[in-house]
């Protein structure tokens, strides 16, 4: 007789015949019970199974549990209990799925608990979460379990299978039924009206310092309602009014310091506030003349005090603005959201406000970026994006040209700001002069939201964002096509159809939420038209203005698999690459028309995805030169980073893809050496992007930092600031000299 049983997890346990009888009893169908009782049928099948097992005694005394179940099914069929056999098989499959679910989940949780972020694609999926920290790991536990649940119980089966097998990647799947991706926040509206975070109402700020602090709270609060990033599309315009408010305050404080009576100061303040309501700028030359007259009229025509008051107030306001921008940058690199697991993924777009107040915002946020964090570190957040526009800041003589030059200098040192081009061929059609809501804005990661098929007369950036996106593994389709381009397109069309249906499935779930599910995003009117909804209303009237995006990765490897060369190597490959991405764009445009929703095509940011896809494909197809022979697939439509190519050639090749990828894109250029040593060369790269029709670009370059003296830049054998070699200590005298020099050589306000 069998003595031991091997379980599915490998454990060996004593044989228990009663469990066989119990399993048989659970599967007997009433249709198989005719002229006998349930117990009699159970016993008949049971004794048949035991007899077979007894006859196996000479062969073995240990049996696998799966073999026992096979014997039970066979015995039922042999005895004529076919429906019961089918019922047992169904029950067995369900139990197997439950066990498989637990096993898969446990493996994933084990990886989250024991592997480092460097070893785990799952821990790197969100570049803004430190998967090695306690809170980051705890968050990944939650995301791992929710993903498994959604794949098994919620997501359409065809899309779930394609995700598991590596044909597609459903981004932010852990939030599948919970929320949307990102927002281009209407900061001006929120600051002007005040807002609530759920613990009390915050009134409109009376100065730039408070406005900057509330900006951080807006970003943090909305981050808790979404799984993606937070962008301020017109940072300079939105904060300029609060520079003017600080200017009024500083005028009044100066008058108070000069012993002007309280009643007189109050009267002057009231007149300035009225003037502020009527004027686009308080600090323009014409308005300053009016302010001077107001002050003189109230202090017995003392023009000396009035002139000095305005001059001092401007200087103090400039200082306040720098401190506000410095605090904003420090806050956004240290304040946490989502249970302390990450800082908000924040971006700010600026550069086109030509008012003195707006210019003061632009200048000082750049100077604060240039100064770095407390120990001189380069701040990652907010990702700053300088909007480059001819006639405003691009050419000598433009009112903000000096700020464009400053942006280039800061980017050459600190990697940021990146540069966007609102007048590129595909951004310009949306641009309306003197309407900053129509100036293209980007999320730092590359997301772009502007066109709106649901409201073509009001295509703006503010109060909108991406709803969800899913990316396609193009190299997989190319490998399987084996050089047959027609077969590749056939597979691509089939996959895009599944992805489109999955995006619609997710969209319907999102629309069935209510305002109470998004207390800040919808409850405070941050999303377009959400303030027109009732508390229990369906969200579709608001969410329809967002985008549903199909993404892709690895165009370079796709071309290598199809024709043996990528688009950096061959004009033929470039032509085919544009045809492939153009085909995908045609599909999303067609779906937009069909569903009257904003389907769009995304040049996917890789993060952990590029590693996930190539790992699966390498296991499946082996190492294929130029395709699966590296640890990653190339980001979207980029020329591979390992391929030697000039910056200018790379820009020319990648520019046409940005016109096709209307959901978002970016062009990265890699520079060697210290670009601050050759600012003309750095600026020429930005101008090349502009001339090639790039919409959004960034320049990457080495950034070193001396932890002792705080110098940031390229460091060779010795630090250019303090002269020390790596690992070498400084004498106390030299250290004090360096610290004193850094303090004296810090930011000069008002420059």
What pLDDT digit, counting tens, does each position of 348-391 carry?
A: 999 999 999 999 999 999 999 999 998 788 999 999 999 999 99
- pLDDT bin (cut points 50, 70, 90) of residue 58 is low
Sorted by where each starts, the structural domains of the chain and their CATH numbers stand as 4-93 (no CATH), 157-181+467-665 (3.20.70.20), 705-744 (no CATH)
Per-residue model confidence (pLDDT) at position 173: 94
Per-residue model confidence (pLDDT) at position 247: 98
Distance CA 255, CA 244 (A): 17
Per-residue model confidence (pLDDT) at position 230: 95
Are the beta carbons of 344 and 334 closer than 8 angstroms?
no
Is the torsion defined by CA of 551, 557, 559, 565 positive or negative? positive
Is residue 347 within a helix (H) or strand (E), and if so which, with residue range?
Answer: strand 346-350
Closest among 460, 637, 662, 426 to 549, alpha carbons compared = 662
- pLDDT bin (cut points 50, 70, 90) of residue 198 is confident
Distance CA 227, CA 229 (A): 7
Between 79 and 667, name the one with better pLDDT. Answer: 667
- pLDDT bin (cut points 50, 70, 90) of residue 36 is confident
Over residues 395-403, mean pLDDT: 98
Per-residue model confidence (pLDDT) at position 421: 98
List, in order, residues 6 or more apart from 431 with CB less than 8 Å away.
Answer: 422, 423, 438, 439, 440
Per-residue model confidence (pLDDT) at position 707: 74
- % residues pLDDT > 70 (the chain): 89
Distance CA 622, CA 79 (A): 49
List, in order, residues 6 or more apart from 184 with CB less than 8 Å away.
Answer: 231, 232, 233, 441, 443, 449, 461, 462, 463, 464, 465
Between 288 and 730, name the one with better pLDDT. Answer: 288
Residue 84: both structure tokens together: 């019961």
Q: What are phi and psi of 78, to 5 degrees?
A: -65, -30
Are the beta carbons of 186 and 225 closer than 8 angstroms?
no
Between 38 and 490, name the one with better pLDDT. Answer: 490
Between 120 and 496, name the one with better pLDDT. Answer: 496
User: Which DSSP string do the residues of 199-233 spell out, in sequence order?
Assistant: SSEEPPPSSHHHHHHHHHHHHHHHHTT-SS-EEET
In the block, which residue shows the tokens 């009016």?
290
Closest among 700, 713, 696, 686 to 347, alpha carbons compared = 696
| pLDDT tens-place string over residues 448-488 | 999 999 999 999 999 999 999 999 999 999 999 999 999 99
Distance CA 398, CA 531 (A): 39
Residue 666: both structure tokens together: 């970016």
- pLDDT bin (cut points 50, 70, 90) of residue 265 is very high
Is residue 721 within a helix (H) or strand (E), and if so which, with residue range?
Answer: none
The secondary structure of the chain in percent helix, strand, coil, rounded to multiples of 5, reads 50, 10, 35
| pLDDT tens-place string over residues 501-524 | 999 999 999 999 999 999 999 999
pLDDT greater than 90 at residue 266:
yes
Are the beta carbons of 412 and 701 closer than 8 angstroms?
yes
- pLDDT bin (cut points 50, 70, 90) of residue 708 is confident
Q: How do 547-553 and 598-603 pair as beta strands?
A: parallel
Distance CA 288, CA 508 (A): 54
Closest among 563, 553, 580, 578 to 655, alpha carbons compared = 578
Over residues 122-137, mean pLDDT: 56
Distance CA 251, CA 317 (A): 9
Residue 393: both structure tokens together: 């800041």
Among 35-44, 187-196, 235-244, 252-261, where is mean pLDDT lowest? Answer: 35-44
Using omega within 30 degrees of 0 as the cis cutoff, is the peptide bond preceding 382 cis? yes
Residue 43: both structure tokens together: 């016993």
pLDDT greater than 80 at residue 339:
no
Distance CA 635, CA 426 (A): 21
| pLDDT tens-place string over residues 620-650 | 999 999 999 999 999 999 999 999 999 999 9
| pLDDT tens-place string over residues 682-700 | 999 999 999 999 999 999 9
Residue 301: both structure tokens together: 């025509």
Is residue 140 within a helix (H) or strand (E), and if so which, with residue range?
Answer: helix 134-153
Per-residue model confidence (pLDDT) at position 90: 84
pLDDT greater than 50 at residue 746:
no
pLDDT greater than 50 at residue 748:
no
- pLDDT bin (cut points 50, 70, 90) of residue 319 is very high
Per-residue model confidence (pLDDT) at position 2: 79
3-state secondary structure of 385: strand
Distance CA 720, CA 722 (A): 6
Using omega within 30 degrees of 0 as the cis cutoff, is the peptide bond preceding 417 cis? yes
Distance CA 164, CA 497 (A): 17
| pLDDT tens-place string over residues 557-616 | 999 999 999 999 999 999 999 999 999 999 999 999 999 999 999 999 866 677 899 999
pLDDT greater than 60 at residue 64:
yes
Closest among 422, 462, 411 to 669, alpha carbons compared = 411
Q: Within its chain, how far is the Cα of 377 from the centroid?
A: 22
- pLDDT bin (cut points 50, 70, 90) of residue 747 is very low
Per-residue model confidence (pLDDT) at position 745: 44
Q: What's the chain's average pLDDT?
A: 89
Are the beta carbons of 389 and 350 closer than 8 angstroms?
no
Is residue 626 within a helix (H) or strand (E), and if so which, with residue range?
Answer: none
3-state secondary structure of 350: strand
Distance CA 589, CA 594 (A): 9
Are the beta carbons of 424 and 693 closer than 8 angstroms?
yes
Over residues 168-180, mean pLDDT: 95
């Amino acid at each position: 007789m069998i003595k031991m049983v091997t379980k599915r997890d490998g454990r060996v346990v004593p044989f228990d015949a009663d469990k066989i009888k119990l399993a048989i009893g659970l599967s007997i169908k009433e249709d198989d019970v005719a002229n006998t009782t349930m117990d009699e049928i159970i016993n008949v099948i049971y004794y048949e199974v035991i007899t077979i097992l007894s006859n196996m005694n000479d062969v073995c005394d240990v049996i696998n549990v799966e073999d026992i179940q096979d014997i039970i099914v066979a015995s039922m069929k042999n005895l004529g209990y076919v429906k019961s056999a089918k019922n047992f098989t169904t029950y067995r499959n369900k139990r197997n799925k439950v066990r498989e679910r637990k096993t898969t989940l446990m493996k994933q949780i084990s990886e989250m608990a024991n592997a480092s972020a460097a070893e785990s694609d799952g821990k790197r999926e969100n570049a803004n979460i430190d998967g090695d920290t306690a809170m980051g790991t705890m968050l990944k536990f939650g995301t791992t379990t929710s993903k498994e649940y959604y794949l098994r119980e919620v997501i359409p089966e065809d899309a779930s299978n394609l995700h598991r097998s590596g044909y597609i990647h459903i981004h932010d799947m852990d939030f599948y039924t919970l929320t949307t991706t990102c927002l281009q926040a209407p900061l001006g509206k929120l600051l002007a009206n005040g807002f609530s975070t759920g613990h009390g109402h915050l009134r409109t700020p009376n100065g730039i310092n408070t406005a900057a602090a509330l900006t951080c709270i807006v970003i943090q609060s909305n981050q808790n309602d979404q799984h993606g990033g937070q962008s301020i599309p017109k940072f300079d315009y939105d904060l300029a009014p609060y520079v003017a408010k600080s200017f009024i305050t500083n005028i009044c404080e100066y008058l108070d310091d000069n012993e002007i009576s309280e009643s007189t100061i109050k009267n002057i303040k009231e007149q300035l506030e009225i003037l502020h309501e009527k004027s686009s700028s308080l600090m323009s030359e014409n308005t300053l003349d009016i302010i001077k007259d107001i002050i003189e009229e109230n202090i017995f025509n003392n023009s000396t005090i009035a002139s000095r008051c305005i001059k001092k107030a401007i200087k103090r306001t400039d200082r306040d603005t720098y401190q506000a921008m410095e605090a904003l940058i420090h806050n956004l690199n240290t304040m946490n959201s989502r249970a302390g697991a990450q800082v908000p993924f924040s971006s700010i777009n600026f550069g086109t406000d030509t008012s003195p107040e707006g210019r003061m915002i632009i200048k000082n946020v750049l100077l604060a970026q240039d100064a770095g964090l407390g120990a001189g570190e380069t701040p990652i957040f907010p990702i700053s994006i300088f909007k480059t526009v001819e006639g405003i800041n691009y050419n000598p003589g433009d009112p903000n040209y000096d700020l464009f030059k400053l942006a280039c200098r800061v980017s050459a040192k600190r990697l940021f700001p990146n540069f966007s081009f609102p007048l590129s061929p595909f951004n310009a059609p949306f641009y309306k002069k003197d309407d900053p809501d129509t100036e293209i804005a980007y999320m730092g990661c590359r997301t772009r939201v502007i066109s709106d098929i649901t409201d073509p007369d009001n295509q703006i950036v503010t109060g909108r964002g991406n709803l969800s996106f899913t990316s396609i593994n193009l190299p997989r389709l190319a490998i399987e096509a084996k050089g047959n381009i027609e077969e590749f397109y056939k597979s691509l069309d089939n996959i895009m159809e599944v992805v489109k249906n999955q995006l619609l499935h997710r969209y319907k779930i999102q629309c069935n939420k209510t305002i109470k599910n998004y207390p800040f995003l919808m409850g405070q009117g941050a999303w377009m038209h959400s303030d027109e909804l009732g508390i229990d209303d369906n969200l579709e009237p608001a969410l329809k203005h967002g985008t549903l995006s199909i993404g892709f990765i690895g165009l370079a490897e796709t071309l290598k698999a199809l024709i043996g060369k990528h688009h950096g190597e061959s004009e033929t490959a470039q032509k085919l690459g544009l045809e492939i991405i153009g085909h995908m764009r045609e599909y999303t445009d067609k779906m937009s028309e069909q569903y009257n929703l904003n389907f769009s095509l995304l040049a996917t940011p890789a993060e952990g995805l590029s590693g996930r896809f190539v790992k699966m494909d390498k296991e499946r197809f082996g190492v294929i030169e130029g395709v699966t022979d590296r640890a990653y697939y190339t980001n979207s439509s980029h020329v591979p980073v390992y391929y030697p190519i000039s910056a200018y050639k790379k820009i020319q090749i990648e520019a046409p893809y940005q016109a096709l990828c209307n959901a978002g894109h970016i062009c990265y250029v890699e520079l060697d050496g210290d670009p601050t040593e050759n600012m003309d060369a750095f600026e020429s790269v930005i101008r090349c992007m502009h001339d090639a029709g790039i919409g959004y670009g960034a320049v990457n370059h080495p950034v070193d930092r001396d932890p002792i003296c705080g110098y940031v830049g390229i460091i060779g054998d010795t630090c250019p600031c303090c002269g020390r070699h790596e690992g070498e200590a400084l004498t106390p005298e030299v250290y004090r000299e360096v610290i004193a020099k850094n303090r004296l050589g810090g930011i000069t306000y008002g420059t």
